[in-house]
A and B are shown apart, each in its own frame.
Chain A
Amino acid sequence: MAARKSSAKKAGVDKAQREFVAEAEEILERMREDLGELSDQRVAGAEVDPDLVNSIFRSAHSLKGLAGMFGFEGLSELAHRLEDILDGLRLGRIRMDNPAVDLLDEAVTLFTALFTQLGDESYEAEAATRIGELVARIETAAEDPSQPQDSLDPLDIAPMLLRALTEYEEHRLRENISRRRHVLLVDTSFEITAFEEGLSEVSAAIREVGEVVSTLPSPGDAPESQIRFSLLVATETPAADLSARLEFPDTDIKTVLAATAAPAESSAAPQPPVEASAAQSGGAEAAPAETGSGEVPGDGATGKGGARGGDLESLKSISDTVRVDIHKLDKLMNLVGELVIQRSAIARIATRLAADPTTSRIAAELFKTHKGLDRKLKELQASVLDVRMVPLRQIFEKLSRVVRRLQRDQSKDVNLGFSGEATELDKLIVEQLVDPLMHVVRNAFDHAIEGEDERVSAGKSREGNIWIDASQRGNHVVIEVRDDGRGIDPTAVREKAEAAGLVEPGQLLSDKDCLNLIFEAGLSTATGVSGTSGRGVGMDVVRTNLSDLGGIVVVSSEPGRGTAITMTLPITLAIIQTLIVAVGRDRFAIPLNSVLETLLIDASEIQRSERRELLNVRGEPLQLQRLSDEFGLDAPPQDRHYVVVLGLGELRLGLLVDRLDGQQDTVIKSIQGPAAQVRGIAGATELGDRGAVLVIDVSAIVEDSLRRRDAA
């Protein structure tokens, strides 16, 4: 979305909106899971767990608030309707067999689809229609038979407590009373500094036999140091029995309302909310069929999503799959990284032991153990990495949908072809790749592919073609978007670049260099380019997005024949192998996946041409950049240098350093502090015995150096 919106909105808004979309996606994910659970419970004929309904309600409520805040009125409206249904459900105003309940799944599916297209103007009109339709159906389905409610005042509860009950909690209290459960008040006090653990123990103990309707905090006897909680509890266990179960100090239990008759189930029932309730099961099962939506939710494998919304995303749930929060994987990855550091420590000890003849035998055994450990750690590392990998298929499917829609809207015939959709990338990278990739494909569709008449008169097929190919090359994945459109004319780009002051008239540039000027901010945002060059705005944002991921993008084109945009990305952002280099007293780590080779050269081999330094490598000139110049480091003059040849896609740069200090597996950590964001530094890593080492952001260094060359 950065690619789409950044020109129009302030950066701050953009960031907030990104957070919004991320949070909304989380909420929808949770709603899907909860709805699946709800449908299971309904099918099982059980009394539906009030916490579950409340959780779904809160999700809808949050969505409504968020969407409203960002001015997405349609989304907010739909969320509002959902909230109404769920509010009715949790407050007992709507019964579980109301047909509106069956529209919940559909609404969440529509939401998910709308979010993937957010900000896509052409889609917004269609979205509004769909939302309107669904809202209308929800309204017809849900009628609102309000029930008269008994007053809660006769209960022996402090007015303060009653007043702090939300409408929902009041409903839960009534519901429990009508189910003839005891209502108890559990008072418990804690030290203010450590109340959470104690309180959650008490709550957990109560939840074993009943429901905590509300938890009201109040000042304790010593208000500065103590806090009291009054828990309103509904349970089938009498106060005396509960009191025996709760062996906590400073805890009093008082009966607010004694159950008038023995409850149907024995007091041993561990989970009152899910007790079997035969009365409801018939209705719940019959309901879905009546709405004509076709499927009875609930066989576990297909029940969750309900692919009822035409070409909307179908949400499959696969029974042998576990969902994992990516941050948990990050944590696992960090642990592996730390183990790797420990392993290096073992190697050092072994080396020390080996030096002493009296311990050399132990050293040999330790080396063997180290080797075994090393092998297992590598496997562990690879397995954890593997878990993070997802195929590009999902993105490709998204792109297909976008192109199909563009075709409909613009009545332009374009075939979209794929290869390599099984290529895998780190989940985090895939997520951040969606926007730039979408942008490139849309540009190809909108600007590169000519109109039908123009194509026919150029001797091309009536319909245009876009191909997306993905493939893995070593530690990188290369994604190429090709089209057979009008191509880009390097001369036209050059003219624009000169007009924009990016290139001096007469400056020597190859056609390839000219083409790649489309990624310059000053040029790609110039509106005039799109018509003549076949490329639209925002390519600078595409480049920035990719460089944030440690990747690069280049373009090649044949005027009249077509264009290819090639994106090269690292496979993962997690543990990487690094080369440790040194300049003077400073050390840096360079991700090894960007290092093509290292050369030891004599200072005399460096050639100077104007202000650049070059090295002849097997007949090809390689531009050099001294790391000491780049970062302003003290570097004593040297006779010999190491050249670390960095390769990013087709770009090459030789980084000049004093020494090489070996290779290390490292986990890149972000730097914390008031001035943590520094161009050229990707983060830092902890080397077992040597403190922190900064990790070089290769794409930034390579790009900056080559840009300086182009500008010179």
Chain B
Amino acid sequence: MSESMDSNHDTTPEWERLARGAAGGERDVDLEPELQRELLTFQLDGTHYAIAVERVREIIRLREITPMPRVPDCILGVVALRGEIVQVLDLRERLGLASSEPTRRTRIIVLHGEDDRVTGIQVDAVRDVLRVAEQDVDASGDNAGAAVAELCRRDNDFVSIIDLDQVLDFNDG
């Protein structure tokens, strides 16, 4: 869990660049006229998931997480991030998947937050940024309000697009 302080401050540069670029910095590729979405894909319990790239602030390696009392089980605790204290969510637990020990590839995706609600989500591994045309995205068919609201095709596979607002909302218990 505790790599040395200096090395685990490193971000993964190419992901960060991808995420930042898409989140409003320099866009190196012009948008094509058809509507496109950019998704950051990652792995969780052997399955591919995705979130909207513009919600991603940065991706960091796993660092020491300080557990917090009196929070739901899926909150792993808090990390210190350049002076900010940010809660980290265990996405496996939140989605009801089997839990597992962190590995070398485990990452924390730090999301932009409205009203100072920056949040980290821990995933098994980050994969890449996927551009999909709007028409290739389908509703998942799950009940409204489910964490996975949409699916998109990728080659012969499906990627589940996570509804972050749903996942980060703890008010409904």
- For B1-41 the 0/1 string (1 means CB < 8 A from A) is 00001000000000000000000111100110100000000
Give chain A interface residues in 304-360, CB to chain B under 8 Å.
334, 338
Of A632, A673, A678, the contact of B86 (CB 8 Å cutoff): A673
Of B5, B72, B85, B88, the contact of A670 (CB 8 Å cutoff): B85
The majority secondary structure among interface residues of chain B is: loop
Residues of A within 8 A of B102 (CB): none
Residues of B within 8 A of A683 (CB): 85
Cα distance, A338 to B83, chains bound together (Å)? 8
B119 touches A672 (CB 8 A): yes
A692 touches B80 (CB 8 A): yes
B118 touches A674 (CB 8 A): no
Whether, in the assembled complex, A104 has its beta carbon less than 8 Å from a beta carbon of chain B, the answer is no
The majority secondary structure among interface residues of chain A is: mixed
Of B78, B83, B113, B120, the contact of A694 (CB 8 Å cutoff): B78
Cα distance, A334 to B31, chains bound together (Å)? 40
* Chain B residue nearest in CB terms to A192: B27
A672 touches B113 (CB 8 A): yes
Cα distance, A586 to B69, chains bound together (Å)? 10
B87 touches A691 (CB 8 A): no
Of B24, B27, B31, B119, the contact of A673 (CB 8 Å cutoff): B119
Cα distance, A592 to B88, chains bound together (Å)? 28
* Chain B residue nearest in CB terms to A671: B85
Residues of B within 8 A of A669 (CB): 83-85
Residues of B within 8 A of A674 (CB): 75, 87, 89, 117, 119, 168-170
Q: How far is the CB of A38 from chain B (nearest CB, A)?
A: 36
Cα distance, A580 to B136, chains bound together (Å)? 54
Q: A193-B24, A675-B71 are in contact. Are A686 and B30 (CB under 8 A)?
A: no
Of B33, B83, B86, B87, the contact of A675 (CB 8 Å cutoff): B87
Residues of A within 8 A of B47 (CB): none
Whether, in the assembled complex, A152 has its beta carbon less than 8 Å from a beta carbon of chain B, the answer is no
Whether, in the assembled complex, A708 has its beta carbon less than 8 Å from a beta carbon of chain B, the answer is no
> What total of chain A residues lie within 8 Å of the partner, measured CB to CB?
35
B85 touches A334 (CB 8 A): no
Cα distance, A692 to B84, chains bound together (Å)? 9
A334 touches B83 (CB 8 A): yes
Cα distance, A679 to B71, chains bound together (Å)? 10
Q: How far is the CB of B124 from chain A (nearest CB, A)?
A: 20
Whether, in the assembled complex, B61 has its beta carbon less than 8 Å from a beta carbon of chain A, the answer is no
Q: How far is the CB of B116 from chain A (nearest CB, A)?
A: 5
Give chain B interface residues in 20-70, CB to chain A under 8 Å.
24-27, 30-31, 33, 63-70
Whether, in the assembled complex, B159 has its beta carbon less than 8 Å from a beta carbon of chain A, the answer is no
Residues of A within 8 A of B25 (CB): 193
Cα distance, A633 to B66, chains bound together (Å)? 13
Which of B26, B68, B79, B119 neighbours the largest number of chain A CB atoms within 10 Å of its CB? Answer: B68
Give chain A interface residues in 633-682, CB to chain B under 8 Å.
633, 669-676, 678-681
Of A194, A633, A691, the contact of B80 (CB 8 Å cutoff): A691
Residues of A within 8 A of B85 (CB): 669-672, 683-686, 692
Cα distance, A686 to B66, chains bound together (Å)? 11
Of A193, A222, A630, A684, the contact of B66 (CB 8 Å cutoff): A684
Which of B87, B118, B170 neighbours the largest number of chain A CB atoms within 10 Å of its CB? Answer: B87
* Chain B residue nearest in CB terms to A224: B31
Whether, in the assembled complex, A693 has its beta carbon less than 8 Å from a beta carbon of chain B, the answer is yes
Of A225, A338, A691, the contact of B64 (CB 8 Å cutoff): A691
Which of B63, B66, B88 neighbours the largest number of chain A CB atoms within 10 Å of its CB? Answer: B66
Q: How far is the CB of B117 from chain A (nearest CB, A)?
A: 5
Cα distance, A557 to B47, chains bound together (Å)? 67
Residues of B within 8 A of A670 (CB): 85, 116
B66 touches A672 (CB 8 A): no
Residues of B within 8 A of A334 (CB): 83
B66 touches A692 (CB 8 A): yes
B69 touches A678 (CB 8 A): yes
Residues of B within 8 A of A632 (CB): 69-70
B75 touches A675 (CB 8 A): yes
- For A192-206 the 0/1 string (1 means CB < 8 A from B) is 011000000000000
Cα distance, A225 to B33, chains bound together (Å)? 11
- For A87-122 the 0/1 string (1 means CB < 8 A from B) is 000000000000000000000000000000000000
B117 touches A691 (CB 8 A): no
Q: How far is the CB of B92 from chain A (nearest CB, A)?
A: 16
Of A672, A675, A684, A694, the contact of B116 (CB 8 Å cutoff): A672
A691 touches B113 (CB 8 A): no
B87 touches A689 (CB 8 A): no
Give chain B interface residues in 83-111, CB to chain A under 8 Å.
83-89
Cα distance, A646 to B25, chains bound together (Å)? 50
Cα distance, A410 to B157, chains bound together (Å)? 78
Q: How far is the CB of B42 from chain A (nearest CB, A)?
A: 19
Which of A676, A681, A686, A690 neighbours the largest number of chain B CB atoms within 10 Å of its CB? Answer: A676
* Chain B residue nearest in CB terms to A586: B67
Residues of A within 8 A of B118 (CB): 672-673
Residues of B within 8 A of A678 (CB): 68-71
Cα distance, A672 to B69, chains bound together (Å)? 15
B86 touches A672 (CB 8 A): yes
Residues of A within 8 A of B113 (CB): 672-673
Give chain A interface residues in 692-710, CB to chain B under 8 Å.
692-694
A675 touches B170 (CB 8 A): yes
Which of B24, B80, B89 neighbours the largest number of chain A CB atoms within 10 Å of its CB? Answer: B80
Q: A193-B24, A678-B68 are in contact. Are A673 and B117 (CB under 8 A)?
A: yes
Cα distance, A224 to B36, chains bound together (Å)? 13
Which of B30, B78, B113 neighbours the largest number of chain A CB atoms within 10 Å of its CB? Answer: B78
Residues of B within 8 A of A630 (CB): 69
Cα distance, A587 to B65, chains bound together (Å)? 12
Q: How far is the CB of B26 from chain A (nearest CB, A)?
A: 6
Residues of B within 8 A of A684 (CB): 66, 78, 80, 85
Cα distance, A194 to B26, chains bound together (Å)? 8
Residues of B within 8 A of A673 (CB): 75, 78, 86-89, 113, 117-120
* Chain A residue nearest in CB terms to B78: A692
Q: How far is the CB of B4 from chain A (nearest CB, A)?
A: 9
Give chain B interface residues in 136-163, CB to chain A under 8 Å.
none
Q: How far is the CB of A342 from chain B (nearest CB, A)?
A: 12
B70 touches A679 (CB 8 A): yes
Q: A225-B30, A631-B70, A669-B84 are in contact. Are A689 and B5 (CB under 8 A)?
A: yes
Q: How far is the CB of A701 from chain B (nearest CB, A)?
A: 11
* Chain B residue nearest in CB terms to A667: B83
Q: How far is the CB of A113 from chain B (nearest CB, A)?
A: 32
Residues of A within 8 A of B88 (CB): 673
Q: How far is the CB of A133 from chain B (nearest CB, A)?
A: 42
Cα distance, A587 to B30, chains bound together (Å)? 49
Which of A225, A670, A684, A694 neighbours the largest number of chain B CB atoms within 10 Å of its CB? Answer: A684
Which of A633, A683, A686 neighbours the largest number of chain B CB atoms within 10 Å of its CB? Answer: A686
19 further contact pairs, Cβ within 8 A, besides A672-B119, A673-B113, A678-B68? A193-B25, A224-B33, A586-B66, A630-B69, A669-B83, A671-B68, A673-B75, A673-B88, A673-B118, A674-B87, A674-B89, A675-B71, A675-B87, A678-B71, A679-B70, A681-B68, A686-B80, A691-B63, A693-B66
A-B contact pairs, 25 of them (CB 8 A): A225-B27, A631-B69, A669-B83, A671-B86, A671-B87, A672-B86, A672-B118, A672-B119, A673-B75, A673-B89, A675-B71, A675-B75, A684-B66, A684-B78, A686-B80, A686-B85, A689-B5, A691-B65, A691-B79, A692-B77, A692-B80, A692-B85, A693-B66, A694-B66, A694-B68
The 9 closest A-B pairs by CB, nearest first: A673-B87, A631-B69, A686-B80, A692-B80, A684-B85, A691-B64, A692-B66, A674-B168, A672-B118
